Structure 1
Amino acid sequence: MTLSRRDALLLPPALALAAPALAQDMRARTLRLVPSTDLVSLDPVISTALVAVQHGYHVFDTLYGVDGQMRAQPQMAEGHQVSADGRAWTIRLREGLRFHDGEPVRARDCAASLERWSRRDTFGRVYATAVEAYETPDDRTLVIRLKRPFPLLLDAIAKPHSQPAFIMPERIIRAAPDSPITEVVGSGPYRFLREEWSSGHLIAYGRFDGYRPRSEAPEWTSGGKVAHFERVEWRVIADKSTAVSALIQGEVDWMESVPHDLQPLVARNRRIRTQNADPLGSVVVMRFNHLVPPFDNAALRRFVLQVARQSDYLTTVAGTDPGAFQECRAMFPCTIPGVTEIGRDTFGRLAAGGPAMAEALRATGYKGEKVVILNPADNATLAPLGPITAELLRRAGLNVELLDMDWGTLLQRRNNRGPVERGGWSLFHTTWPSIAIANPVLNTTVRGEGATGWPGWFESAEMERLTNQWLDATDPAQQARLMGEIHALALREVPTVPLGIYYPKTAYRAELTGVLGGSVRYPWNVRRG
């Protein structure tokens, strides 16, 4: 609570003297973070946006999390048993789990949550094809009965990013089975303070005193999620130079991501610490709309991949420090073990322009259709990318319109499946944490799910067939062969153009300790030293 000067003067003398101390104490017990973008969706199972996932980890918890080696570890679960035939997984919940409304977490809440999640998430939909039924013999026991063995079940429900399998109350899920939730009640370390939410300004969370953290040390999304702060406040500051100034002045404690051109300001300030936010980096991608011309044409998509130069995008996002980015001519992140740069002879080979570029465009059959690029002008990382692509495609001979908008509007507009003449779109840019697209079943950017998939709606029965074979493969050699076939198919079809990997920097006041690495900024384990 902050008192105005007038309010302080009206207090009795003893309280008036104590008011600054009370305000200072509250400030010390509050963690103030500047998110990269405003929070638009409150439902992290519906939205794939990074900010929605970050919000989700404040409020909700998962049955299993992942450690630093991306291995599934029990979180809300006490443990599990698997039947001899691999078709029954019995998961036992920890004692004392409660939702923020005071109700106990029951096995039926978990069943309803997994069922809803599995209809929305890329990995979840594959998992759902193996599920026969959920059984809840008692409040702490969940039995997942399968039609066939599904060895990666824990990997599915423990996935750390892009629509994690967050557990919600059954009553809320039944009220919104396929639409965004409106009541935000989880069982995680913080409660969402809906009454304080001011879109574009403030998102606030209060510590949930009923949360029971695990005893293990925290790693990524697993272990003891100890909330040391009474409050967490997200201060939405669209202008990043203003946000950096607020961090330097101590008006905020933490800046989720610092644009590269402002990093020198924080790097030379001894009261600020910076670190790579995610050791595996994030992939910059250009996503096509496959439903409408002109990018329903695979030849034109391959042309764009051949004229785009990754270095143009990476130096814009991450600056010229060679340690801040990595070119990766592949359809999967090069920071993931086993991924090879199979596109070395294809990515950017026409970037120099000239007659070869013009002839290649003619060969695609492009007929001059308008290319509408959606560009989030309020996102410091993504905003410069739209103009780069617009200039690139104009120079190559395409008819381009660049539309600036805020990120929230882009998230809404990219759901429009109509032609560009009726509010549709052709492409947009975004980023994906490498861990979120690390293998064929996770990699939303190349999955061929069509209408049920990620906006852009790339459809390929062959891609889905190979992905399911990869998922069922038990022999490492067979799995590697299938991975190679999937990778080659993605390079031919180009559902998305990867533009390289960068390592986002997060910055925080030096008195903070316990900041964990990961695909988002986690509020637990952080304390003021």
Structure 2
Amino acid sequence: MLKIGRRVVCAFAAVAVFAAPAAAQTTLKVALHSDLKIVDPVWTTALISTHHGYMIYDTLFALDGKLEVKPQMVDKWTVSDDKLTWTFTLRDGLEWHDGKPVTAEDCVASIKRWGAKDSMGQKLMGVVADLSAPDAKTIKMVLKEPYGLVLQSLGKSSSNVPFMMPKAVASTDPNAQITDSIGSGPFIFKKDEWRAGERAVYVRNPKYKPRNELASGLAGGKVAKVDRVEWLTLPDTQTQVNALINGEVDLVEIVPPDLLPLLAKDKNIKVMVVNTAGRQYAMRFNVMFKPFDNPKVRQAVLYALSQKEFLEANVGNPAYYKECKSLFPCGSPLESTKGWDDKISGNIAKAKALLAEAGYDGTPVVFLHQTDTSGHNNLATVAKAELEKTGLKIDLQPMDWQTLVTRRAKKDAPDKGGWGAFFTSWGATDVLNPVSAAFLNASCDKATFGWPCDAELEKLRDAYAKETDPAKQKQIAEAVQLRVLEYPTHVPLGQFTTPTAIRTNLDGLLQTPSLALWNIQKK
């Protein structure tokens, strides 16, 4: 018995010895829609930079799963009786990745930098008389007049998101890129392991204090449940899908519908739509140079293009796309086809007539053509084929998405490194109204890439921002739609959703307008 007893004791001793090391680090490997080259999510509207922002930064407010604005870094807030003074109190325990406390001064500087760049931020800052930090935890915003979109602006869910940054970083000129990546969010960016074109690496922030609420959309408790996240840059979607099947990655952000049957055969993989609100394709004009400096030439494009062609070529499966002749997403409160029923339907004869009226002289249009982003790489080629039928001359210039993102910011002439048009998509939550939709910003040099300049559009956007009656807001939104027919800023090319594929050993992927990698547990 004694020997048995000793044997038992020895066995327990052995267990104690070998159980001592910590559990193996959990690593989440993902293949996203693009390579990360720009780490400043305020300087650019590129979605991959927004994804990066959500990994490392936090926000004052956020949209939950019902698309309602909820506090995030803010603990509580008050509004004065005259609706002019807003006071926000930061919650306890907020800390930058370098160990310094988050202060209201940091947040004030962050709001100002974002507000100089973002479409919605510009409108908000236009009615702000004073923005200050009375103490370390209090942000005070005094308005010139009541404004109905304060919380919606601060809780904006996608490009450009008002991410909070340290004051020293947020003091950077909004037209210059930041290189510092210190945030206060659930993950820390491993800049020393970042290799553009290869991978970006993030590790769990052990000092992050999530809200004491369940995660919902982009709001609630942001609990990082893996130790390390690796964004792997793989050359094409077929390679990404193969890596998923082989267990080399855990998640593929965008799977083309034609590859879904391949994944359906694998019991270790499941497919879901993360952004159920979907996205809207768009062609963006550069109004600074010929021929798109002439509104009639842009109107010709509105008639010539056909949404169906773009959706078929870039999505293919009708289960994942929808034709929608509305500037604002179909299914949203401001959906309307007023004035647009005969547009975007391939009317080449009407387009030719408008080009003749415009006196089009054969100036070629430089199309920036992204070749590496799934679901977008046939946008420019479809447009080229359709517009050449009208007599427009197209200079198609292929490049990867991140090169396009850098080039579209240039105001040079098209024959000197500039551009005439590019193609992209917006999350439906980005374009819900005339103020949030960046491509409707017509404030000239302050507008985003393309730089439309139209006082009438700006008056309508201001009116929308100040109106609180939903019925009157709808009337203003329809007036915006009609004005865009006279002064086109862009062309909506249909709505779509994108399937995301994950291995079945992952739990907790949230349904969000922008990809959220907290709350994911890897078994």
- Structure 1 residues 179 and 418, CA, compared in 2 at 3 Å: closer, same or farther? closer
- Kindly indicate whether residue 229 of structure 2 is the aligned counterpart of residue 235 of structure 1: no
1:225-284 CA-partner distances (Å, limit 9, x unpaired): 110000011001122111110001000000111122222222332111111121111001
Partner residue in 2 for 1:466: 460
Partner residue in 1 for 2:151: 154
Partner residue in 1 for 2:412: 418
Partner residue in 2 for 1:306: 303
Give the 5 Å matches for 1:415-494: 415-494=409-488
Q: Secondary structure at the match of 1:101?
A: coil
Contact persistence 1:91–1:143 (CA under 8 A): yes
From 330, 338, 343, the equivalent of 1:342 is 338
The Cα shift of 1:422 comes to: 1.3
Give the 5 Å matches for 1:46-445: 46-174=43-171, 178-319=175-316, 321-351=317-347, 353=348, 358-445=352-439
1:97-150 CA-partner distances (Å, limit 9, x unpaired): 111000011111111111111111111111111212223232112211222222
TM-score, normalised on structure 1? 0.92
- Structure 1 residues 24 and 400, CA, compared in 2 at 3 Å: closer, same or farther? farther
Contact persistence 1:278–1:503 (CA under 8 A): yes
1:48-69 CA-partner distances (Å, limit 9, x unpaired): 0100100000000001111123
Amino acid corresponding to residue 320 of structure 2 in structure 1: A
Q: Secondary structure at the match of 1:250?
A: coil
Counterpart-to-counterpart distance in 2, 1:373 and 1:177:
27
Q: Secondary structure at the match of 1:396?
A: coil
Amino acid corresponding to residue 203 of structure 2 in structure 1: G
Contact persistence 2:366–2:397 (CA under 8 A): yes
Contact persistence 1:331–1:490 (CA under 8 A): no
The Cα shift of 1:343 comes to: 4.5
Counterpart-to-counterpart distance in 1, 2:69 and 2:81:
20
The Cα shift of 1:476 comes to: 3.0
Contact persistence 1:331–1:491 (CA under 8 A): no
- Structure 1 residues 137 and 447, CA, compared in 2 at 3 Å: closer, same or farther? closer
Contact persistence 1:335–1:434 (CA under 8 A): no
**What is the CA RMSD across the aligned residues, in angstroms?**
1.9
Contact persistence 1:87–1:145 (CA under 8 A): yes
Amino acid corresponding to residue 25 of structure 1 in structure 2: A
Residues matched between the structures, number: 506
1:154-190 CA-partner distances (Å, limit 9, x unpaired): 1111100001111111122235565221111000000
Counterpart-to-counterpart distance in 2, 1:394 and 1:199:
36
Partner residue in 2 for 1:4: none
- Structure 1 residues 395 and 189, CA, compared in 2 at 3 Å: closer, same or farther? same
The Cα shift of 1:448 comes to: 1.0
Amino acid corresponding to residue 430 of structure 1 in structure 2: T
Identity of paired residues, percent?
Answer: 36
Unaligned runs of 5+ in 1: 1-17
- Structure 1 residues 358 and 172, CA, compared in 2 at 3 Å: closer, same or farther? closer
The Cα shift of 1:327 comes to: 0.1
- Structure 1 residues 309 and 176, CA, compared in 2 at 3 Å: closer, same or farther? closer
Counterpart-to-counterpart distance in 2, 1:175 and 1:430:
27
Q: Secondary structure at the match of 2:424?
A: strand
The Cα shift of 1:418 comes to: 2.4
Contact persistence 1:260–1:317 (CA under 8 A): no
Counterpart-to-counterpart distance in 2, 1:253 and 1:343:
46
Counterpart-to-counterpart distance in 1, 2:351 and 2:258:
33
Unaligned runs of 5+ in 2: 1-17
- Kindly indicate whether residue 495 of structure 2 is the aligned counterpart of residue 512 of structure 1: no
The Cα shift of 1:357 comes to: 5.0
Counterpart-to-counterpart distance in 2, 1:137 and 1:412:
38
Counterpart-to-counterpart distance in 2, 1:395 and 1:492:
23
- Structure 1 residues 134 and 350, CA, compared in 2 at 3 Å: closer, same or farther? closer
Q: Secondary structure at the match of 2:151?
A: helix
Partner residue in 1 for 2:3: none
My pick for the range that moved more, 190-199 or 135-144, is: 135-144
- Structure 1 residues 378 and 477, CA, compared in 2 at 3 Å: closer, same or farther? closer
Counterpart-to-counterpart distance in 2, 1:392 and 1:472:
40
- Structure 1 residues 24 and 387, CA, compared in 2 at 3 Å: closer, same or farther? farther
Give the 5 Å matches for 1:30-45: 30-45=27-42
TM-score, normalised on structure 2? 0.93
